[in-house]
Amino acid sequence: MGNINFVQKSNLFSYTATRCLRNEYYHNDCTLCIDICPKGAFHIVRNKLTLFENECVECAGCIGSCPTEALEIESFDPNAYAAAYQHSEETPILSCKVTTPCLGVFDVEHFTVMALRSGKNVTCDMSHCSGCVLNTNGVLEGSIREKIEETNRFLETIQSPHRIESIEEKEEESGRRALFRKGFEKVKESLSESSASLVSMTTAHHKLPDQKMPLKRILLKNSLKEIVTELEITQFPESTPLFFNKQINFDTCTNCGECTQFCPTDALFPTSDKQGIYFSQGKCIGCGICEDICKPKAITAKEGFDLVSIAYERSEQLVHYEMVTCHECRCPYPYKGGDPVCDRCASFMKSNANMFTLARDL
């Protein structure tokens, strides 16, 4: 059994516990990697995710599913691959047989980046999935297909002409392999030449203590920046599994700041005077921690997304309060009108009203 360390390694595969949502917030119940791992190598030990190194077969199928990039494999970096994809003259086919590990290594962000940056359709070789020994009960294949569908729904919504396509039939091995390999060599070339800065950004990313936004979202944001001026519509009223939106109820929020403290990507952050809360839609990974942690349930999901705000990392102020001193306890609190008495004192006075009346009458 593995120990609970900050980084757990099984040869090339590693899990960094400090990036896991379960580590960020005790009550978080993310099971995305557990659900997808065909070997059951992840376990919950004392409410923390633990990798049993001996059970991991390093297929990389779980990597794309982790919203916070807590899972990595030394031999393949999906961010570097997606960033370099556009430089390839002959678009490579994504195939676990030649170019990549299991296609589960990619997330919706990676597929979207490849389609937007290359300006072409991206082809995934799915012909081996159903017969793959790792595809227990169709879980791995189902997850890859779901990500492809989500990507295509998003591309359709923003009226991009490009899609993620799939090859379903096994083709003549020799010719196909040669084509895959040719494409892969092109990507490798571009990784070593024109994409050197992107790769260094990728490898440096995890060393930056203040970099909380997953690199796959930074790549996506930069890709959107390149195309957003060409789009006819940039604001969409509906939801997409890729972007999340939030609202805060002014009347019930107590400005306690818990949501801003626990948001793993700093998508929610306080105003400089600490009297309000901003939200940056492009940074939100939809983990739900803010909604869960908010005691008065003031923060809720909202429909719609704005590509300009996402691309340029614009933030929206969700609430702002004037802080005043409570006349009872002398503590600052967010004033919402009426007598200057904070919620805690008001509720104390209400629940002890009989006692106050008795004391006054004595």
Q: Which residues bind ligand SF4 (CB under 6 A)?
A: 20-22, 30, 32-33, 49, 65-68, 70-71, 244, 246, 248, 253-259, 263-265, 267-268, 284-290, 293-294, 296, 298-299
Q: How far is the CB of 242 from ligand SF4 (least distance, A)?
A: 13
Nearest Cα neighbor of 187 from 76, 23, 264, 312 is 76
Q: How far is the CB of 279 from ligand SF4 (least distance, A)?
A: 7
Beta bridge partners of 71: 15
Give dist(CA 176, CA 13) in Å, integer. 29
Q: How far is the CB of 335 from ligand SF4 (least distance, A)?
A: 14
Q: How far is the CB of 59 from ligand SF4 (least distance, A)?
A: 15
Nearest Cα neighbor of 23 from 2, 53, 44 is 44
CA neighbours closer than 13 Å in the CB half-sphere of residue 203: 9
Nearer to ligand SF4, 121 or 271 (CB): 271
Nearer to ligand SF4, 25 or 180 (CB): 25
Q: How far is the CB of 299 from ligand SF4 (least distance, A)?
A: 4
Q: How far is the CB of 293 from ligand SF4 (least distance, A)?
A: 6
Amino acid at 308: V
Q: How far is the CB of 324 from ligand SF4 (least distance, A)?
A: 17
Amino acid at 159: Q
Residue 362, SS3? coil
Give dist(CA 235, CA 357) in Å, integer. 56
Nearest Cα neighbor of 269 from 251, 252, 290 is 290
Nearer to ligand SF4, 186 or 216 (CB): 216
Nearer to ligand SF4, 107 or 125 (CB): 107
Nearer to ligand SF4, 218 or 263 (CB): 263
Positions of E strands within 265-325: 268-270, 276-280, 299-302, 305-306, 315-320, 322-325
Residue 210: partners with Cβ closer than 8 Å, 6 or more residues away: none
Nearer to ligand SF4, 116 or 268 (CB): 268
Give dist(CA 189, CA 123) in Å, integer. 20
Asked if residue 32 lies in contact with residue 65, where contact means CB atoms within 8 angstroms, the answer is yes
Nearer to ligand SF4, 164 or 284 (CB): 284
Dig out the tokens for 43 from the structure: 């376990």
Give dist(CA 25, CA 353) in Å, integer. 38
Pairing of β 71-73 and β 13-16:
antiparallel
Nearer to ligand SF4, 154 or 262 (CB): 262
Query: CA angle 271-25-53, nearest 5°?
Result: 135
Beta bridge partners of 159: none
Nearer to ligand SF4, 105 or 253 (CB): 253
Q: How far is the CB of 224 from ligand SF4 (least distance, A)?
A: 18
Q: How far is the CB of 37 from ligand SF4 (least distance, A)?
A: 9
